[in-house]
A and B are shown apart, each in its own frame.
Chain A
């Protein structure tokens, strides 16, 4: 028989190659051939697609996740720890033979990616040697690394949309672009005309270009939570995890649970899929497991769980927060600024953030006729506090590069622009990968900024736009100062927490490998 294999290990200089040698020797001794791709630090020569296509089975003997794993999809697969290939190469080759024979006997399962291998217990994503904490981090990092392109594309497109709107539409352009353009529906007969950009796009109108950028960016953003959730589930359960993870994430986003909700749905979807794919089923059902039974049951169970588990508490939470905030109005303004700042950074687009933001924008609408007033100050505090999380993380990745993974450092570059444009989501990749350290750091900086904006008495008439609406800000210099202070505080806090905590090296390794999967 012909086999292909992949070997890897954390350091990439010893076990990777010993394992390759072990598999080659064992295959030769048993009268088979195997070509092994060593994913070590000396780079790796990819197996050709023809070689992979011709292989009867695949052997992964790995200590870190296989890079570009999708190339091997659909093949009968044996997965084991890298040490297994060193200590017992012949055993792995024997398993590969068994898997190849079983797949030949039941081709449907093999073609569908064989999530429920007929010979039982062969495919496992779980690294026996990693601690629970490391495994959780690997799962989160997998989700984050697939989400980053959506954050970068969506965030930068939205920021560009604001810039163009500012040039084409004057100082209110950045507000108008978020409100008066849409991809669907007939023109709105209400006082403000809504332009359907699909039917009425006019290349000569700068605002239409701004809206085009904004709407494409917004479309990309709408995938953040589903993709995060889907690929967390994928890391846990492999291919069967994708459908329940993505659907669960979409529901989480729809009901306003934000990225924290998406992490929850990723874990639920992943474990539900893992559990179902391990069911022992009669032979006749096995063929339809990957195409019907697993997707059907895992998607329904996950979706139903999310709606029942997350839906009601979320509603209660946002209602409770909203009435609490209304009770606070008029009391100490600086305290209110601090609280709004903390809320903005807590979940970056989730229910808590949304309550704070909605609180500010509804105040803005009510104050439309007033000339000054606390409503405008509240809006100013909320926007400033929403800008500091990405800015602070961008600063942290710039001055302490080694504390962040390659993917995070690249995301840090984009985060400057996202933060400056009040796109708090720019901080989500960092927060999703390491919530316990990143979220408190962001809250600290945002809380201080929110309080300072109140103290300085800056005002804002726009509901969005970041630095692109500076002409609309009262007291702009002090406003920018407050943002700068919060940015520095968030950066300092995140650096201090990451430097004190365990294992940045390990995280870097995983993220590096995964990031390559994403870009290649």
Chain B
């Protein structure tokens, strides 16, 4: 199974706030069968978000959770051209990465998420996601950079 599919890419995320935006991306995860209980998963993400907002400098938000309602490590990606406040000090987020990890972990599965997190720190990676023309291109970038580097 793949880390991300075209159905898990939302290129025009125009939700009013981060919770609504998270719900849109989580719905995509549920539709793809990656999340079994939408509200349960959202509650897990929210609990993590309340410990400390996941917005980061450079306009990215990385809502994430390890949750019993997740079937396999998955990324849902959203691009919000107008920006959504994600609690970062330097302004709203335009690239949103909703990272879903299954509860039982500690194995090789989760290493792919570690690789993803490391790529998020690379400017070129962010730029190619920012400039990707369509969902297929996003999936392509993630697969090339994270899954088969």
Q: Measuring CB to CB, which residues of chain A are less than 8 angstroms from any residue of chain B?
A: 10-18, 20-22, 25, 38, 40-43, 63, 83, 86-87, 129, 505-506
The reply to whether B99 and A14 form a contact with Cβ atoms under 8 Å apart is yes
The reply to whether B113 and A86 form a contact with Cβ atoms under 8 Å apart is no
New A-B pairs, 11, CB < 8 Å, besides A14-B113, A41-B101: A10-B48, A11-B48, A18-B62, A18-B117, A42-B105, A42-B106, A42-B108, A42-B113, A63-B52, A83-B56, A505-B47
- By a CB distance below 8 angstroms, the chain A residues around B121 are 18, 21-22, 25, 86
Can you list 24 A-B contacts with CB-CB less than 8 angstroms, sorted by A residue number?
A12-B66, A13-B64, A13-B66, A13-B101, A13-B113, A13-B114, A14-B54, A14-B62, A17-B114, A17-B115, A18-B56, A21-B117, A21-B118, A25-B121, A40-B110, A41-B101, A41-B110, A42-B106, A42-B107, A42-B108, A42-B111, A86-B56, A87-B56, A129-B52
Which of A13, A15, A129 interacts with B110 by CB under 8 Å? A13
The reply to whether B110 and A14 form a contact with Cβ atoms under 8 Å apart is no
The number of chain B residues with a CB under 8 A from chain A is 28
Expressed in whole angstroms, the minimum distance between the Cβ of B50 and any Cβ of chain A is 10
- By a CB distance below 8 angstroms, the chain A residues around B57 are 86-87
- By a CB distance below 8 angstroms, the chain A residues around B110 are 13, 40-42
The reply to whether A11 and B56 form a contact with Cβ atoms under 8 Å apart is no
Expressed in whole angstroms, the minimum distance between the Cβ of B42 and any Cβ of chain A is 15
Expressed in whole angstroms, the minimum distance between the Cβ of A511 and any Cβ of chain B is 16
The reply to whether B51 and A506 form a contact with Cβ atoms under 8 Å apart is yes
Nearest opposing residue in chain A for B101, CB measure = A13
- By a CB distance below 8 angstroms, the chain A residues around B108 are 42
The reply to whether A41 and B99 form a contact with Cβ atoms under 8 Å apart is no
Within 8 A of A (CB), among B68-108: 89, 99, 101, 105-108
The reply to whether B52 and A40 form a contact with Cβ atoms under 8 Å apart is no
Main secondary structure of the interface of B (DSSP, over half): mixed
Q: Is B65 an interface residue (CB 8 A)?
A: yes
The reply to whether A15 and B66 form a contact with Cβ atoms under 8 Å apart is no
Q: In the complex, what distance in Å separates the CA atom of A42 from the CA atom of B51?
A: 21
Q: Is B120 an interface residue (CB 8 A)?
A: yes
Q: In the complex, what distance in Å separates the CA atom of A38 from the CA atom of B117?
A: 12
Q: In the complex, what distance in Å separates the CA atom of A41 from the CA atom of B67?
A: 12
Expressed in whole angstroms, the minimum distance between the Cβ of A504 and any Cβ of chain B is 11
With A41-B101, A41-B105 as contacts: A15 and B51 at CB distance below 8 Å:
no
Expressed in whole angstroms, the minimum distance between the Cβ of A39 and any Cβ of chain B is 12
Which of A38, A86, A506 interacts with B114 by CB under 8 Å? A38
Q: In the complex, what distance in Å separates the CA atom of A21 from the CA atom of B56?
A: 14
Nearest opposing residue in chain A for B117, CB measure = A17
The reply to whether A129 and B51 form a contact with Cβ atoms under 8 Å apart is yes
With A13-B117, A16-B117, A18-B120 as contacts: A41 and B106 at CB distance below 8 Å:
yes
Q: In the complex, what distance in Å separates the CA atom of A25 from the CA atom of B57?
A: 16
- By a CB distance below 8 angstroms, the chain A residues around B51 are 10, 129, 506
- 6 A-B pairs closest in CB distance: A17-B117, A21-B121, A42-B110, A21-B118, A17-B114, A87-B57
The interface bits of chain B over 37-62 (1 if a CB of A lies within 8 angstroms of the residue's CB, else 0) are 00000000001100110101100001
With A10-B48, A11-B64, A12-B66 as contacts: A17 and B118 at CB distance below 8 Å:
yes
The reply to whether B111 and A83 form a contact with Cβ atoms under 8 Å apart is no
The reply to whether A11 and B65 form a contact with Cβ atoms under 8 Å apart is yes
Nearest opposing residue in chain A for B67, CB measure = A11
- By a CB distance below 8 angstroms, the chain A residues around B107 are 42-43
Q: In the complex, what distance in Å separates the CA atom of A15 from the CA atom of B48?
A: 12
Q: In the complex, what distance in Å separates the CA atom of A17 from the CA atom of B110?
A: 11
- By a CB distance below 8 angstroms, the chain A residues around B64 are 11, 13-14
Q: In the complex, what distance in Å separates the CA atom of A507 from the CA atom of B21?
A: 29
Q: In the complex, what distance in Å separates the CA atom of A242 from the CA atom of B43?
A: 39
Which of B52, B56, B57 has most chain A Cβ within 10 Å?
B52
- By a CB distance below 8 angstroms, the chain B residues around A506 are 51
Which of A11, A22, A505, A506 has most chain B Cβ within 10 Å?
A11
- By a CB distance below 8 angstroms, the chain A residues around B47 are 505
Nearest opposing residue in chain A for B120, CB measure = A18
- By a CB distance below 8 angstroms, the chain B residues around A63 are 52
The reply to whether B52 and A42 form a contact with Cβ atoms under 8 Å apart is no
Which of A17, A21, A38 has most chain B Cβ within 10 Å?
A17
Expressed in whole angstroms, the minimum distance between the Cβ of A178 and any Cβ of chain B is 45
Q: In the complex, what distance in Å separates the CA atom of A21 from the CA atom of B120?
A: 9
Nearest opposing residue in chain B for A42, CB measure = B110
Q: In the complex, what distance in Å separates the CA atom of A5 from the CA atom of B108?
A: 22
- By a CB distance below 8 angstroms, the chain A residues around B48 are 10-11
